[in-house]
Amino acid sequence: MSTASASPPAPSSLRERKKRRTRQLLVDASLELFTEHGFGNVTLDELCDSVEVSKRTFFRYFTSKEDVAMAPTQDLWLTFIDVLETADLGPADRPVLLLIQDTLLTALDRTTTDDWSHRVLLSRNLAERTPSMDAHGLHFCDRTTRAALATLHRRLDIPDPADLRPRLAVDMVVAAFHCALATWASATGTATGTAPGKAPSPDSLSAHTRHAFTALAAAPTFPVTPRQDTSPRP
């Protein structure tokens, strides 16, 4: 996994605090400029000039315009990997699906703030109309999935390296979260307790995610009945 977009460690010195501020300024400036002018209409030089940094400094933090524009969501998944690598994995024989779900909920608690909510919504809106961002997101998701599986196999006793169940568990959690993120992003003020047009609260994202996980657990046994009227609709 590329380290250019990794979340910075907790600041422990003036230098680290300055690095963190610079990184956040780049993220905020990119989202503002791309939203106002269009992703393809803003050059990397213009982005760097807006923050008064060089392109060399930019590449210390990000690999591309797509990378900086998708930083809010990517930071969440990088935190997810960090939690998976360092947290207590809980009791023996715990279902791997529950382990991964709890890991993501912990990452949400560590990552999400009101500012993050605003940034991730801007990033999502950009990605919906920018194919290169969508492609970047797919590559990032693949790298993150591979990193998660490597961590699971390193920290858990999984006798068969080819066992598909850990991979399927990761994929299901990712899919459930994408559903939760979509419903959270489109939530109205009535559903979230926020005024229309404002970002839903990060707490509501956790609630949507828990709801998605509950639905995921019930999905395999969800009963359906064929419709009686199968004639084509006009």
The range of the structural domain enclosing residue 140 comes to 70-219
pLDDT at residue 83 above 50?
Answer: yes
Domain assignment of residue 28, yes or no: yes
pLDDT at residue 54 above 80?
Answer: yes
Say yes or no: 53 and 77 in one domain. no
Domain assignment of residue 225, yes or no: no
Specify the 3-state DSSP secondary structure of 68: helix
| Domain end call among 40, 63, 86 | 63
* Burial class of residue 43 (count of CB atoms within 10 Å of its CB; 0-12, 13-18, 19+): exposed
Say yes or no: 106 and 125 in one domain. yes
How far apart (Å, rounded) are the C-alpha atoms in residues 193 and 188? Answer: 8
Q: Which residue in this structure is represented by tokens 């307790």?
A: 193
How far apart (Å, rounded) are the C-alpha atoms in residues 4 and 95? Answer: 33
**Sign of the dihedral through C-alpha 47, 51, 56, 58:** negative
Say yes or no: 205 and 102 in one domain. yes
| Percent of the residues in the chain that have a pLDDT greater than 70, as a whole number | 87
Q: Please report the pLDDT score of residue 232 as a whole number.
A: 66
| Domain containing residue 22: CATH number | 1.10.10.60
Q: Please report the pLDDT score of residue 193 as a whole number.
A: 37
Dihedral of the alpha carbons of 101, 1, 67, 51, in degrees to the nearest 10: 110
**Under a CB-based contact definition with an 8 Å cutoff, are residues 104 and 68 in contact?**
no
The band of 191, judged by pLDDT with boundaries at 50, 70 and 90, is: very low
**Distance spanning both ends of the chain, measured CA to CA:** 51
| Domain end call among 44, 63, 82 | 63
The band of 8, judged by pLDDT with boundaries at 50, 70 and 90, is: very low
Say yes or no: 84 and 194 in one domain. yes
Say yes or no: 55 and 123 in one domain. no
| Domain end call among 21, 42, 63 | 63
Domain assignment of residue 234, yes or no: no
Tokens of 151: 């961590």
**Total residue count of the chain as it appears in this document:** 234
Q: Please report the pLDDT score of residue 186 as a whole number.
A: 85
Say yes or no: 18 and 100 in one domain. no
| Domain containing residue 200: CATH number | 1.10.357.10
DSSP at 200: P
pLDDT at residue 98 above 60?
Answer: yes
DSSP at 161: T
Say yes or no: 96 and 196 in one domain. yes
Domain assignment of residue 228, yes or no: no
The band of 90, judged by pLDDT with boundaries at 50, 70 and 90, is: confident
